Chains A and B, each alone.
Chain A
Amino acid sequence: DVKVTQSSRYLVKRTGEKVFLECVQDMDHENMFWYRQDPGLGLRLIYFSYDVKMKEKGDIPEGYSVSREKKERFSLILESASTNQTSMYLCASRTPGQYRGYTFGSGTRLTVV
């Protein structure tokens, strides 16, 4: 089974801090994704990466950046955390090909105070 591991289950950070959320997958997947999940809004795509060092903006990239230096690791960076970035963050990976879904990590619940 594919495993997608997010380094932290819960994080509490202060406004203005730089925050790193880490995600590692163990199945050599090319594509990786960061979503945030908020009640009533579903899952919204922040950034995704086709392959190492390649990244593209999703639907809500403002206030975020990403890094993918190795195939198995995809990091989400909050440059200056704000309270409206309090959310559940979900990482996912996928191998290209038709009719294949994502495998998600268990999520990181981030609270910015």
Chain B
Amino acid sequence: DAKTTQPTSMDCAEGRAANLPCNHSTISGNEYVYWYRQIHSQGPQYIIHGLKNNETNEMASLIITEDRKSSTLILPHATLRDTAVYYCIVRPISGNTPLVFGKGTRLSVIA
């Protein structure tokens, strides 16, 4: 079972920041937080991952709370092409543990 809790759906105006929350209150010290997204009719796409420090790449920023029990994925300037299901996943740092997906958050970016 997924170890994360996400809202079922969210809306965001085009050009505004999209902030997607994730609760992972039972996260262990050796587990990373991963974010993937799945655009309709495509396979999931990796976005970003982090342990305890905030992370940023060309796609998004990941903010992890100090107690690591929750995180927020930020898309700074959402576009219509960001409309997708976003999955927050917790996974151990080492080894080849499979990703366990929940139902994710369906983000709709509105013009």
> Are both chains from one complex?
no
Which residues of A does B touch, CB under 8 Å? Answer: none
Which residues of B does A touch, CB under 8 Å? Answer: none
